[in-house]
């Protein structure tokens, strides 16, 4: 990786952005995905200049162009930190389901008695944590990388496209397209529920290809027909609880769901 700033791609000089990674309320699994990727990690790092990555380095800087933000926002100090990141970064990327829609964390917003739950969880060491919010509920977001966790390929592709000036395209269609491409037999045939028809593709139908129904971790595809999806699940005999649990799990469908419930059938 001796190439330096003068690196070119097909004769065109490349852009080597200064990037920073930040985590908020999350499992840090998304960042781990990037580090995990030993075979391509060096190539990846040669495309960018990482100035902030707590999981991998101690030195930190506020001089960056692209901020990758992982995690959902639950505390006041997080809001302050996030706003500062937004000010520093030219491009803010929400990375992973937590950052994009609150992720699994937002399930706690379902509790009717948050104070009681908190006492259960934290006992004598209370943590000042409020309702879970997606990054875009607090600051503006320029790009999103969906998934729980994100797929390393997608992160790498995004960075590569920024470096060589190619546009960033995320599938707009649902997981079913990839599921069929992978030549799977539909899980509904076997009587298993799946959110593939309403969930944004890009994971290469990871779950259905492993014979598990999609839980919608990448959030809604564009132009989804949630009312029909619910009706179909009901017709296949899945309980309201099964359907709701699935749709609420990662938070991506929440904004679409409220008016749709009860209209099925």
Partner 1 sequence: MIFRVFEKEELRQLFDILSDHNRVVGPVEAGRDRNGRPVYAFSDVREFNDIRLNHTVTKLPAKRYFLPFKEDLATFTIEKDNWHKSIAYNIERPFVLFGLHPCDINALNKLDKVLLHSVYPMPYYAAKRKNMFIIGLDCVPQPYCFCRSMGADTALHGFDMFITDLGSRYFVEILTDTAYNFLRHIRTEEPGEEDHILYMKVVAERNEKFTAHVDTTDLAKILDMEFQSDVWKYWGDRCLACGTCANVCPTCYCYGVEETVEINLKGARKTKMLYSCNVIDFAEVAGGHNFRPERHTRLKYRYYHKHRGFVEAFEESLCVGCGRCGESCLADITVPEVIASVRGSGGNE
Question: For binding to ligand SF4 (CB under 6 A), which residues are involved?
Answer: 175-176, 179-180, 184, 186-188, 194, 196-197, 199, 203, 205-208, 214-218
Judged by beta carbon, residue 9 or residue 173, the one nearer ligand SF4 is 173
Interactions with partner 1, residue window 47-66 (CB under 8 A) = 47
| Residue 160 dihedral angles phi and psi, to the nearest 5° | -60, -45
Say if residues 1 and 48 touch (Cβ distance below 8 Å): no
Among 160, 168, 256, 257, binds partner 1 (CB under 8 A): 160
Of the candidates 216, 220, 229, the residue with the CA atom closest to the CA atom of residue 173: 220
**Counting contacts by CB under 8 A, is residue 115 touching partner 1?**
no
Site track 216-245 with partner 1 (rule: CB under 8 A), x = hit: -----xxxxx--xx--x-------------
Cα separation, 226 vs 247, in Å, equals 10
Q: Which of 150, 147, 153, 148 is nearest to 44 (CA)?
A: 153
Alpha carbon distances (Å) from 138 to 72, 132, 159, 199: 10, 11, 24, 24
The site partner of 30 among partner 1, ligand SF4, none (C-beta below 5 to 8 Å per kind) is none
In this structure, the number of other CB atoms found within 10 A of the CB of residue 65 comes to 18
User: Which of ligand SF4, partner 1, none does residue 205 bind (CB under 5 to 8 Å by kind)?
Assistant: ligand SF4
Q: What are the tokens at 155?
A: 């992160």
**Residue 8 contact partner, candidates partner 1, ligand SF4, none, CB within 5 to 8 A by sort of partner:** partner 1
CB of 156 to partner 1, least distance (A): 5
Please list, residue by residue across 204-231, b when 16 or more beta carbons sit within 10 angstroms of its beta carbon and e when fewer do. Answer: ebbbbbeeebbbbbbbbbeebebeebbe
Q: Out of 124, 183, 262, 265, point to the residue binding partner 1 (CB under 8 A).
A: 183
Residue numbers at the binding site for partner 1 (CB under 8 A): 8-11, 40, 43-44, 47, 156-157, 160, 164, 166, 172-174, 176-177, 180-183, 185-186, 188-191, 196-198, 221-225, 228-229, 232
């Amino acid at each position: 990786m001796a190439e330096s700033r003068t690196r070119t791609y097909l004769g065109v000089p490349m852009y080597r952005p200064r990037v920073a990674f930040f985590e908020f309320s999350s499992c840090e699994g998304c960042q781990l995905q990037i580090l995990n990727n030993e075979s391509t990690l060096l190539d990846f790092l040669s495309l960018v200049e990482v100035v902030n990555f707590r999981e991998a380095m101690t030195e930190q800087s506020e001089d960056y162009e692209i901020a990758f933000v992982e995690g959902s926002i639950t505390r006041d100090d997080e809001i302050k930190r996030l706003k500062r990141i937004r000010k520093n970064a030219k491009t803010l990327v929400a990375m992973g389901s937590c950052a994009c829609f609150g992720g699994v964390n937002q399930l706690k917003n379902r509790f009717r008695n948050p104070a009681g739950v908190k006492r259960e969880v934290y006992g004598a060491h209370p943590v000042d944590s409020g309702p879970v919010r997606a990054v875009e509920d607090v600051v503006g977001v320029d790009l999103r990388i969906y998934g729980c966790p994100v797929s390393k390929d997608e992160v790498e592709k995004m960075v590569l496209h920024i470096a060589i000036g190619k546009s960033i395209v995320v599938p707009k269609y649902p997981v079913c397209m990839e599921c069929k491409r992978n030549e799977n037999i539909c899980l509904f045939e076997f009587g298993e529920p799946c959110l593939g028809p309403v969930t944004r593709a890009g994971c290469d139908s990871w779950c259905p290809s492993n014979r598990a129904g999609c839980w919608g971790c990448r959030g809604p595809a564009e132009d989804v027909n949630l009312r029909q999806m619910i009706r179909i699940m009901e017709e296949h005999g899945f309980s309201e609880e099964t359907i709701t649990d699935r749709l609420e799990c990662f938070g991506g469908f929440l904004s679409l769901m409220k008016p749709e419930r009860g209209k099925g059938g």
